[in-house]
Amino acid sequence: MIGYKLTLEQKEAIQGVQFSDATFFNCVEDIDGVWFLFLSEQDTNNLPTEYAYLLELPQEEFVPPVQEDII
């Protein structure tokens, strides 16, 4: 799964920020503690110009951290 790779500062700037009605940026850490952002095509099309820089960020393969079992 490919996502946009963020610096900590970039993550802090957008995490939880609403960018369209009822939708907010959500970032997630990979196995190495690096922050990633995933956008749907619809998100990309609705992205306000002030956040267009996000689409220029490097895209890399996301490796999830080892997850605690749900049961």
Partner 1 sequence: MGLGLGISVDWASLVPYYAQVASAFKARVEADGGTVESMSCLKADLKVLNPIKPPAFDTDAQAFITAASITDSTQQSAIDTLVTDLKTAGIWTKMKAIYPIVGGTASSHKFNLKDPRDLDAAFRLTFTSGWTHNADGAAVTAKTATYADTHILPSSELSTTSTHMSYYAKTLTNGNSQVQIGDAEIDSMWLGLYSSSYYGAIANTYQDQSYTSSPAYYLVNKPSSTQLKFIIDSSIVGTKSITTGSFSGTQNLYLNNYENSTTFTSISTCAFATIGDSLTDTEASDLYTAVQAFQTTLGRQV
- Applying CB under 8 A, the residues found at the interface with partner 1 are 1, 3, 18-26, 28, 37-43, 62, 64-65, 67-71
Distance between first and last Cα of the chain = 25
| Sign of the CA dihedral with 36 first, then 40, 41, and 45 last | negative
Closest separation in Å from C-beta 60 to partner 1: 14
Nearer to partner 1, 32 or 70 (CB): 70
Nearer to partner 1, 7 or 20 (CB): 20
Query: What whole-number distance in Å separates Cα of residue 36 and Cα of residue 50?
Result: 19
